[in-house]
A and B are shown apart, each in its own frame.
Chain A
Amino acid sequence: MRPHSGRGILRFRSRHPEWWALALSALAGAVAISEMTVRLLPMPQHTDDLMGKSRMAANALVMTVAMMVPLVVRPLRTVAGRSLWRRRDQAVGFFLVAYLGRSGIAAIIATQLALGSGLYTLRNPAISAALCIFAAALWQITPVKRAALEECDRTIPLAPAGWAAVRDDLRYGWVIGESCLTNCWAVMAVAWLLPHSSAAMLGTGSILMLERYSARINQRALAGALSIVGLLLLATALRGSATGSSSSCMLNLRGGRGVQLCERFQYRNDLASKVDVSRLLPIEVSVRGLPCTSVQSDHLPFIVADRRS
């Protein structure tokens, strides 16, 4: 006779086979949020260097795991429920590999394209984010997007065992990845364009969760709400550009001993991507013990400061 707690665990695993995938997603979310405040990942020297690109790719992957896994709870339960008990976790794993692989590739391509096209170093990235929100609002009411949303709950026949089962689990993850990307690329692009904005991540995440799990979602109303947010963002950004007004920016500088040093300073919008922080010297800026001449702000993804300029 098995202990009662064992039955409880079994019941939990039976009903929530997705638990460890969600735990992984939560961990990724914690890393992403931490990264926005404490910079856990290596900081780039310049936007066009390898470190910068790698860092953007890592950011995109972490954000993808954090935001995309909670959207597939139903497919995860399906793939587990339709698998032999002994390989349920394997089936979930193979599904995730294909699903996140597809989503991750798309995220990396999108961020690298944005990086290459200079979207991140625009005079005011809020403008490009606003334009992206308008695109998302328009996409929200297209038949293709609505069909894709339904197809996120597709099921396919899964072989029960052997390589055929692995193949089908991967295929299922790939198929769902395609539907989910078609459904949410426009909203996700907002988060990808503002990779250091926790507001963007939480906002877009909330929209995606709402439309996947809300008992009743009015896509036109959602598109309207997105348009209003885009308009507000655009108006704020344009007003700032027109007046050349100063904005406040919090620099999070991490010292060599891991001490967080914060300085509030003013930058003008027309300073764009280059900000001279020499006035903050003699603060020695370093990341994990290495001298660093670049810093990041929460407002502009990349503010490159050169002590010698």
Chain B
Amino acid sequence: MAEVRVRRDVWMLPVGDSILTWYARAVGEMQRRPLHDPTSWRYQAAIHEYSRSDDPHASPTDVFPSGAEQDRFWNQCQHSSWYFLPWHRMYLLCFERIVADTIAKLGGPPNWSLPYWNYANQEVSKARCLPPAFVSPELPDGSVNPLWIKYRSFNANAGSLVGTPSHADASNALKEPWFTATTVGATDFGGPKTAFNHEGGRLGSLDTRPHGMMHVAVGGRLGWMSSFNTAALDPIFWLHHANIDRLWTVWKKRDPTHRDPTDPDWQTKRAFDFHDHAGVVRFTPSEVVDTKGGLLGYQYEDETDPLGGEGPQVVVEAEGEELMAEMVGATEQPFALTGKAETARVALNTPSGPAVVNEAAVSGPIYLNIENVTGSSTGDAYEVYLNLPPGADHHDHPELFAGTLPLFGLAEASRGSRGRSGNGLHFALDITELVARLAAEGAWSPAEVRVTFAPTDTEATGELPEAAGPPVQVGRVSVYRS
């Protein structure tokens, strides 16, 4: 039986460990390879997304892969989809093989494994800081540090804490009972059932937070980590996604009812092509669900449940069946978010369908949906509060916090071209507990809910001028009841 490699927590590496040293050397080597080389740094980033106009390394001497090769291997990243987790696992695996092969050729150790960045590690006070190896522009010998890039948020490159504890918190995602919800308006762990989805749409809870939030927290406004087409050029991207990949394992291990989709459409019907160090490889999601066996052969240093088994009582209609839901209210008109707090009022109707039937037996979940969020902004994020008193500062009412809207990839998801429909981003938030609390306090009206969007504190990016971001359009805010 093949040896199972261990992906280590980057903040738990012992002093003198060479994992990041060799990572830096391999990254440097890959950055020197030409764009059309599948093992080059830029080619690997282009697999996620590539835009010539946004390519910071674009050169007139670039030689591009053929159109057919680009169609097959570039611009493939899956977000807002049940393929989000398996696709990124495949992506990381192939990248890891290329880096390990490069390290071996450079004379490094065999079987190098990608470390992960657990920014929510309670045992490390600096867990939300980028590791020192990523924040110094130069290596001790004075040469350029391949792991450093200029275009990050100020805090990220200052070695300070990135984002807030809430941004890094995976609790909501880990408590999700379903990998993919089939109920309209509902939240889930892994994202909605889609076809190949290199565009926007409803995000799964993990895709939203910590994934999206940490992208924009590291990238800031205009930083590389904030956009689909530049994110993978930042070496920290791979450690961030290793952590997201780890959380998938944690989610499955923390509750025996947490299962991957058994739908053949997910399991085997869609294959994805990649290059690893040896050539073209193809995976289906079913081939990457087990990290220790089969093709993958790795595990994470820490796969324990950070919540200690805590979780809500899942309300199900029958074995494996979610409660049905219905839309009970929505805003009438689209509106803009302009960088300051904005409040939308949603008139609520009396349920007349599934929620009426459900109410006879159980009180099901309530979801807030923020639909068709579009714009050209990058790196922004908003926090959502319910029934914030008029004129009140959201900072004074953390008890009314309902969730976050990271706008990672907003510009790309809003473009109606390059194989995208331009639907923008769609967020679903489970507000069941908050509504129950508000109702108990007499602060919930069955006729209307006020939804306040407050910008998260943004940070300047490197040496770029800080400017107010362009407005973000919200198509609709709606409430679904089960």
Q: Provide the residues of chain A in CB contact with B182, threshold 8 Å.
A: 15
Docked CA distance A154–B416 (Å): 9
Over the window 300-331 of chain B, the binary record of Cβ atoms lying under 8 Å from chain A Cβ atoms (1 yes, 0 no) is: 00000000000000000000000010111110
Q: Provide the residues of chain B in CB contact with A82, threshold 8 Å.
A: 184, 327, 330, 371, 476, 478
Contact between A150 and B332 (Cβ–Cβ < 8 Å)? no
Over the window 68-85 of chain A, the binary record of Cβ atoms lying under 8 Å from chain B Cβ atoms (1 yes, 0 no) is: 000000000100011111
Cβ of B165 to closest chain A Cβ, rounded Å: 33
Q: A155-B423, A216-B270 are in contact. Are A160 and B478 (CB under 8 A)?
A: yes
Q: Provide a sorted-by-A list of 27 A–B residue pairs whose CB atoms are within 8 angstroms.
A: A6-B357, A7-B357, A10-B324, A15-B182, A15-B324, A82-B371, A82-B478, A84-B349, A85-B327, A86-B352, A86-B353, A150-B199, A150-B420, A151-B421, A154-B416, A154-B423, A155-B372, A155-B421, A156-B372, A157-B371, A158-B330, A159-B330, A159-B332, A160-B332, A216-B269, A216-B270, A216-B271
Contact between A157 and B357 (Cβ–Cβ < 8 Å)? no
Q: A150-B199, A154-B421 are in contact. Are A84 and B271 (CB under 8 A)?
A: no
Docked CA distance A63–B221 (Å): 51
Query: Sorted from nearest, which 8 A-B pairs have the closest CB atoms?
Result: A85-B353, A157-B475, A81-B184, A157-B476, A215-B269, A160-B330, A215-B270, A85-B326
Docked CA distance A162–B77 (Å): 39
Contact between A215 and B324 (Cβ–Cβ < 8 Å)? no
Q: Provide the residues of chain B in CB contact with A7, threshold 8 Å.
A: 357
Contact between A81 and B185 (Cβ–Cβ < 8 Å)? yes
Cβ of B53 to closest chain A Cβ, rounded Å: 16
Q: A84-B352, A151-B416, A154-B423 are in contact. Are A160 and B371 (CB under 8 A)?
A: no
Cβ of B181 to closest chain A Cβ, rounded Å: 12
User: Is A274 at the interface (CB under 8 A from chain B)?
Assistant: no
Cβ of A168 to closest chain B Cβ, rounded Å: 10
User: Is A279 at the interface (CB under 8 A from chain B)?
Assistant: no
The B179-203 residues at the A interface (CB cut-off 8 A) are 182, 184-185, 195-196, 199
Contact between B372 and A11 (Cβ–Cβ < 8 Å)? no
Docked CA distance A159–B347 (Å): 11
User: Is A209 at the interface (CB under 8 A from chain B)?
Assistant: no
Q: Which residues of A come within 8 Å of B, CB atoms?
A: 1-2, 6-7, 10-11, 14-15, 77, 81-86, 88, 146-147, 150-161, 164, 213, 215-216, 220
Over the window 209-232 of chain B, the binary record of Cβ atoms lying under 8 Å from chain A Cβ atoms (1 yes, 0 no) is: 000000000000000000000000
Additional 5 contacts, C-beta under 8 A, given A14-B354, A216-B196: A82-B327, A83-B327, A84-B349, A150-B420, A213-B195
Docked CA distance A211–B9 (Å): 43
CB-based nearest B residue for A1: B360
Docked CA distance A1–B329 (Å): 26
Docked CA distance A152–B185 (Å): 21
Q: A10-B357, A82-B478 are in contact. Are A160 and B372 (CB under 8 A)?
A: no
Docked CA distance A156–B185 (Å): 15
Docked CA distance A213–B372 (Å): 23
Contact between A85 and B478 (Cβ–Cβ < 8 Å)? no
The B98-132 residues at the A interface (CB cut-off 8 A) are none
Q: Provide the residues of chain A in CB contact with B56, threshold 8 Å.
A: none
Instruction: Report which of B330, B333, B353, B416 forms a contact with A14, defined as CB distance below 8 A.
Output: B353
Cβ of B471 to closest chain A Cβ, rounded Å: 16
Docked CA distance A83–B475 (Å): 14
Contact between A2 and B372 (Cβ–Cβ < 8 Å)? no
Q: Provide the residues of chain B in CB contact with A84, threshold 8 Å.
A: 326-328, 349, 352
CB-based nearest A residue for B264: A215
Contact between A220 and B196 (Cβ–Cβ < 8 Å)? no
Contact between B196 and A215 (Cβ–Cβ < 8 Å)? yes
Q: Which residues of B come within 8 Å of A, CB atoms?
A: 68, 182, 184-185, 195-196, 199, 265, 269-271, 324, 326-330, 332-334, 347, 349, 351-354, 357, 360, 371-372, 416-423, 426, 475-476, 478
Q: A14-B324, A157-B476 are in contact. Are A147 and B349 (CB under 8 A)?
A: no
Instruction: Report which of A81, A88, A147, A161 forms a contact with B418, defined as CB distance below 8 A.
Output: A147
Contact between A160 and B421 (Cβ–Cβ < 8 Å)? no
Docked CA distance A86–B360 (Å): 19
Q: Provide the residues of chain B in CB contact with A151, threshold 8 Å.
A: 416, 421-422
Docked CA distance A153–B202 (Å): 13
Contact between B327 and A2 (Cβ–Cβ < 8 Å)? no
Q: Provide the residues of chain B in CB contact with A81, threshold 8 Å.
A: 184-185, 327
CB-based nearest A residue for B326: A85
Docked CA distance A153–B326 (Å): 21
Docked CA distance A181–B71 (Å): 24
Docked CA distance A308–B13 (Å): 98
Most B CB contacts (10 A, CB to CB) among A84, A151, A157, A161 go to A157
Most A CB contacts (10 A, CB to CB) among B326, B347, B351 go to B326
Q: Provide the residues of chain A in CB contact with B476, threshold 8 Å.
A: 82, 157-158
Cβ of B267 to closest chain A Cβ, rounded Å: 11
Cβ of B344 to closest chain A Cβ, rounded Å: 12
Q: Provide the residues of chain A in CB contact with B354, threshold 8 Å.
A: 10-11, 14, 85
Contact between B332 and A164 (Cβ–Cβ < 8 Å)? yes
Cβ of A13 to closest chain B Cβ, rounded Å: 8
Q: Provide the residues of chain B in CB contact with A154, threshold 8 Å.
A: 416, 421-423
Cβ of A88 to closest chain B Cβ, rounded Å: 8
Q: Provide the residues of chain A in CB contact with B270, threshold 8 Å.
A: 215-216
Q: Provide the residues of chain A in CB contact with B327, threshold 8 Å.
A: 81-85, 160
Q: Provide the residues of chain A in CB contact with B360, threshold 8 Å.
A: 1-2
Contact between B196 and A160 (Cβ–Cβ < 8 Å)? no
Most B CB contacts (10 A, CB to CB) among A77, A160, A161 go to A160
Q: Provide the residues of chain B in CB contact with A152, threshold 8 Å.
A: 421
Q: Provide the residues of chain B in CB contact with A146, threshold 8 Å.
A: 419
CB-based nearest A residue for B353: A85
Q: Provide the residues of chain A in CB contact with B199, threshold 8 Å.
A: 150
Most A CB contacts (10 A, CB to CB) among B270, B327, B349, B351 go to B327
Q: A82-B478, A160-B327 are in contact. Are A150 and B372 (CB under 8 A)?
A: no
Cβ of A149 to closest chain B Cβ, rounded Å: 8
Docked CA distance A213–B193 (Å): 12
Q: Provide the residues of chain B in CB contact with A14, threshold 8 Å.
A: 184, 324, 326, 353-354
Docked CA distance A86–B329 (Å): 12
Q: Provide the residues of chain A in CB contact with B324, threshold 8 Å.
A: 10-11, 14-15
CB-based nearest A residue for B351: A85
Docked CA distance A153–B194 (Å): 11
Q: Provide the residues of chain B in CB contact with A157, threshold 8 Å.
A: 334, 371-372, 475-476
Cβ of B131 to closest chain A Cβ, rounded Å: 39
CB-based nearest A residue for B200: A155
